[in-house]
Amino acid sequence: MSLDVQQQVYTDLNSLSALKNKAKNDPDAALRQVAEQFESIFTKMMIKSMRATVPEGGMLSSDDTKFYQGMYDDQLAIHLTSGPNGGIGLADMLVKQLDNRKPGEPQGKSIDAYSALPSLPISLLGQNEPKMSVDPINAKDTVVQAEKLNFETPKSFIDAILPHAKKAAKDLGTTPGVLVAQAALETGWGKSILPGKGESSYNLFNIKADSRWQGDRVYSKTLEYEKGVPFQENAAFRQYDSLEQSFDDYVGFIKSNPRYEQALQVSEQPNEYIQALQDAGYATDPKYAAKVQSIMARYSHETE
């Protein structure tokens, strides 16, 4: 994998913007990097399938060992497909298949890699990969599937949540664009909304379920940062019955929490609002506000 953009540690979730910029300026190089990332994901799936053939059990078998084994396998997939001699040849095949230029045609005509990026797997886009929700208290490993919410494009996601965003923005005294951008970042444009109990959790803002939350909850791995260093942990998140309820609870969550008082005071300036949320501890990602602001600026014309 190329060292300038590709992640060399599986928890590095900051490569998407760099890859998108490269896709604009150098589509051919971006095509190569997308193909290499796909090869890494495919290798991870093979490792997972091979581990599934090994009988479980024994004194050292536990949910914790499985969790850290998964982290190791994620990094192993990155390692096996990186370097000048790395990979299994899948990336080369993908590049040849997708590079449909005619002989002598100039560079940059092979594929619109920038447009292709939103359809890539969520793990490639720098988002978490919640595939199941398991209640560790009732340890029967009951897998619940996410509802098939039909968000194929950013526009379909915006169209679905914009009416709710407008209502919530009015209650908070801010603009709907910042709420749409925040939800888009938290859920990968709706493609990685946490699964719920029998359906989607509808948790667009990934609000955690602490002791104050009396409703249903779901459990998933989450990526957090401590002093700029990323780490994974298992956490409980709030479960809602609809997208509207998610927005209503977000408004209540922000208004009722004293730590977000400064954010509410600058809510009329959306850039300052989201920065104040980050400063108050809404998210531990040090680039959270900048990411939301970038999405907000790019899609401002669709959220007015």
DSSP letters along 26-95, please? -HHHHHHHHHHHHHHHHHHHHHHHHHHTSPP-STT-SHHHHHHHHHHHHHHHHHHT-STT-S-SHHHHHH
pLDDT in tens, 182-210: 999 999 999 889 888 767 899 999 999 98
- Please indicate, yes or no, whether residues 105 and 160 belong to a single structural domain of this protein: no
* Over residues 246-266, mean pLDDT: 96
Within 8 A by CB and 6+ apart from 166, the residues are 176
Q: Check residue 108 and report its DSSP letter.
A: T
Q: Kind and range of the H or E element at 230?
A: strand 229-238
Whether residue 170 lies inside any domain: the answer is yes
CATH number at residue 245: 1.10.530.10
Whether residue 3 lies inside any domain: the answer is no
Q: Kind and range of the H or E element at 113?
A: helix 113-116
Tally of domains within the chain: 2
* Over residues 84-100, mean pLDDT: 65
pLDDT > 90: what percent of the chain? 36
* Collapsed DSSP state (helix, strand, coil) of residue 132: coil
Cβ atoms of 241 and 247 closer than 8 Å: no
Whether residue 7 lies inside any domain: the answer is no
Q: Which residue in the block uniquely carries the two structure tokens 């024994």?
A: 58
Q: In terms of residue numbers, what domain contains 44?
A: 15-120
Does the pLDDT of residue 13 top 80, yes or no? Answer: no
Whether residue 136 lies inside any domain: the answer is no
Q: What are phi and psi of 208, to 5 degrees?
A: -80, 155
Q: Which residues are catalytic?
A: 224, 249
- Please indicate, yes or no, whether residues 75 and 162 belong to a single structural domain of this protein: no
Cβ atoms of 274 and 182 closer than 8 Å: yes
Whether residue 173 lies inside any domain: the answer is yes
Provide the whole-model pTM.
Answer: 0.53
CA distances from 176 to 119, 195, 208, 291, 294 (A): 25, 25, 22, 16, 15
What is the spatial distance between Cα 183 and Cα 257, in angstroms, rounded to a whole number? Answer: 19
Predicted pLDDT of residue 249: 96
Whether residue 143 lies inside any domain: the answer is no
- Please indicate, yes or no, whether residues 100 and 160 belong to a single structural domain of this protein: no
pLDDT > 70: what percent of the chain? 62
pLDDT in tens, 96-120: 666 554 445 444 444 444 333 333 3
- Please indicate, yes or no, whether residues 109 and 213 belong to a single structural domain of this protein: no
Average pLDDT, the chain: 74
Looking at 120, 143, 173, the residue that finishes a domain is 120
* Collapsed DSSP state (helix, strand, coil) of residue 129: coil
Within 8 A by CB and 6+ apart from 295, the residues are 181, 184, 185
77-86, 117-126, 182-191: segment of lowest average pLDDT: 117-126
Whether residue 168 lies inside any domain: the answer is yes
- Please indicate, yes or no, whether residues 116 and 162 belong to a single structural domain of this protein: no
